[in-house]
Amino acid sequence: MYVNGVLISSESATPLISFPSNEDAQFLCIGGDSSYNGETEARFTGKIVTANVYGRALTVSEINELYSQYTYSNDSFDFIHESGYVFDSKNMLLYGMTPSELTTENIKNAFTNENLYVETECYIGTGTKIVLKNSRGEVYNSAEILVFGDVNGDGWYDGMDSIIVSCLATGLISKDMIRGVVWRAADCNHDGVIDGLDVELLRQAGLLLENIDQSKPTEELLATSSEYVQYLNLIDQTAEVKTSEDINSDEPVNGKICIFNWLLNCIIKILNYIKLHFALI
């Protein structure tokens, strides 16, 4: 018997195999003993992740190789504090990145994990998943990107986000209808309340963003665009993250109405489609 790739016990066995006389008990059972009534007895108490069946005994090297496929050297995110960003290991959030810094390369460079992946289909923004995978491609740990003000996940905070935050502030969309990271992103001024002040900040950001050429690199924008500098300073991206329980909406929430959850998803998809369409023109 091998445990964690190490031999801990062995016993000689006869090569002769005998089958139960009752045909109902002649089946392979993993995690228990086959029984005459077609069910299992002496069931294993625990969790079997996977099971492999071989036609011969494996060698020591084969066992070690098999064991290595189910292990990983580091099960946690190894964050580089000198990256200039912030990683909240309690809430599993990476934040402090400006919109033009939201690239797969920058995110990977903030960690030393070689098995780190950024799961994105189009944009990188609030809610984008950062995952660690083992050698079989299975996710065993994950975190999320947080951009304060960016509630639709496109990586920018602007007038499009103000529509959603306005619904949150007035109670048209309740806290339990959205993900926790989105609720945190809606508190743009970090005062613990989602209200008209957050909506106004996003409207101002939207007006500034209209005058900014987003295709230019960050260095050029910082050097030539006062609107971009003002835009970046409008919402502090490095403020300490509050727990979702510490953030309240200005108005009392008005119940769990499924239609508003559907409406929120529609708004996000429409706004992202419009933004992508104009980006391709």
Q: Are residues 116 and 16 in the same domain?
A: no
Q: Are residues 164 and 236 in the same domain?
A: yes
Q: Are residues 252 and 165 in the same domain?
A: yes
Rounded-to-integer distance, Cα 281 and Cα 105, Å: 26
Q: With contact defined as beta carbons under 8 Å apart, do 157 and 143 qualify?
A: no
Q: Are residues 85 and 66 in the same domain?
A: no
Q: Are residues 141 and 191 in the same domain?
A: no
Q: What angle do CA 62, 64, 65 make, to 5 degrees?
A: 65
Rounded-to-integer distance, Cα 18 and Cα 132, Å: 45
- pLDDT tens per residue across span 48-101: 777 788 888 888 888 877 777 666 556 789 999 999 999 999 999 999 998 889
Q: With contact defined as beta carbons under 8 Å apart, do 154 and 205 qualify?
A: no
Domain annotation covers residue 193: yes
Domain annotation covers residue 152: no
Rounded-to-integer distance, Cα 124 and Cα 141, Å: 19
7, containing H or E segment: strand 6-7
Domain annotation covers residue 151: no
pLDDT exceeds cutoff 60 at 280: no
Pairing of strands 193-194, 86-88: unpaired
> What tokens were used for 99?
């919109």
Q: Are residues 182 and 253 in the same domain?
A: yes
> What predicted TM-score, i.e. pTM, was given to this entire model?
0.64
Q: With contact defined as beta carbons under 8 Å apart, do 256 and 176 qualify?
A: yes
Domain annotation covers residue 12: yes
- The SS3 assignment for 93 reads strand
Domain annotation covers residue 250: yes
Query: Which of the given ranges, 5-9, 54-58, 136-140, 181-185, has the highest pLDDT on average?
Result: 181-185
How many C-beta atoms lie closer than 10 Å to residue 14's C-beta?
6
Q: Residue 226 is part of which domain span?
A: 159-280
Q: How large is the C-alpha radius of gyration of the chain? A: 27
Q: What DSSP assignment string belongs to 224-266?
A: H-HHHHHHHHHS-SSSPPPPGGG-EESS------HHHHHHHHH
Domain annotation covers residue 60: yes
Between 61 and 249, the higher pLDDT residue: 61
Rounded-to-integer distance, Cα 79 and Cα 111, Å: 4
Among 32, 51, 71, where does a domain finish?
71
pLDDT exceeds cutoff 50 at 253: no
Q: How far from each other are the two terminal CA atoms of the chain, in whole angstroms?
A: 63
Q: Are residues 165 and 275 in the same domain?
A: yes
Domain annotation covers residue 153: no
pLDDT recorded at residue 255: 38
The single-letter DSSP state of residue 81 is: G
The total domain count for the chain is: 3
Rounded-to-integer distance, Cα 267 and Cα 271, Å: 6
Task: Please state the rounded mean pLDDT for residues 10-28.
Answer: 76
Domain annotation covers residue 76: no
Task: Please state the rounded mean pLDDT for residues 13-17.
Answer: 70
Q: Are residues 267 and 172 in the same domain?
A: yes
pLDDT recorded at residue 256: 39
Average pLDDT score, the chain = 82
The single-letter DSSP state of residue 149 is: T
Q: Are residues 182 and 261 in the same domain?
A: yes
